[in-house]
Amino acid sequence: MMSNDLIGKSVLIVEDDPKIRNLVKIYLINEGYEVLEAKNGLEAKDKIEKYDPCILILDLMLPGISGEEICRWIRSDLKSVMPIIMLTAKASEKSRIEGFKLGADDYVVKPFSPGELMGRIEAVLRRTASRCGKISFNGLTIKPVKGEALVNGEQLDLTHFEFKLLHMFMQHPGQILSRPQILDFIYEKSEKNVTERTIDVHIKNLREKIKQQTPVDYIQTVRGMGYKFAAN
């Protein structure tokens, strides 16, 4: 099972074969990844610009815009260092070399083992950890380095403490956090004169802002215990 530092990483699968796309999606979801899909190059470009995924699983033989063109666009036009794994039937040494020259971080040939692909994804993400500081769950994404939080690509207008709260929750998906624990997580020692009631107010405001953009109830109250972030 994937370790906690990779949970919530967003993966975009660009594949025109729905059976392969669905197979990879099932494995990714089971491993705790946030999954985005595109069946052609045009959709891929739109998803990349809107969601800025942590890693791209890219078929090369796509309708319309080829995988090679997508890779070239990411590296040359966007100037992005997004990790890319090429997943393709092009098995020749020449194709592999060309793929790496275009900027691929790994190259997997079809037919492939889904288990091996998961291992390669994890290895690439660990190797390129500094490229993706984002955490994503069910359409909710936080980018701590940029100070951004988004719901389905739309930015949330959060206060400093609301942002810290959301970041803390998303780092501990499914874990019940008590109010004292939350205080320890988000307040400095000099700020410890705040009350647990303050936490409740911040969480109420955070929930309301999220619910303005989605009906999904991410932050749940656990009666008598505290709060938890529902990742699914």
What is the rounded distance in angstroms from the CA atom of residue 109 to the CA atom of residue 91? Answer: 6
Domain closes at, from 131, 164, 182: 131
125, 165: one domain: no
192, 127: one domain: no
Residue 44's nearest CA partner among 13, 86, 21, 20 is 13
For residue 121, give both structure tokens. Answer: 């994804």
165, 59: one domain: no
11, 56: one domain: yes
- What is the full per-residue pLDDT of the chain (232 aa) written as tens digits? 555 566 678 899 999 999 999 999 999 999 888 899 999 999 999 999 888 888 999 999 999 899 999 999 999 998 888 999 999 999 999 999 999 999 999 999 999 999 999 999 999 998 887 676 788 888 898 888 778 899 988 899 999 889 999 999 998 888 999 998 888 887 765 455 667 788 899 999 999 999 999 999 999 999 999 999 987 6
Q: How many helices (H) and strands (E) does the chain have?
A: 8, 11
118, 69: one domain: yes
Using alpha carbons only, give the angle 84, 75, 170 rounded to the nearest 5 degrees: 50
51, 119: one domain: yes
The CATH code of the domain that includes 123 is 3.40.50.2300
16, 98: one domain: yes
99, 201: one domain: no
- Strand intervals (E) in the chain: 10-14, 34-38, 55-58, 84-88, 106-109, 135-137, 140-143, 148-151, 154-155, 219-222, 226-229
Burial class (CB in 10 A: 0-12, 13-18, 19+), 227: buried
Range of the domain at 151: 137-229
167, 76: one domain: no
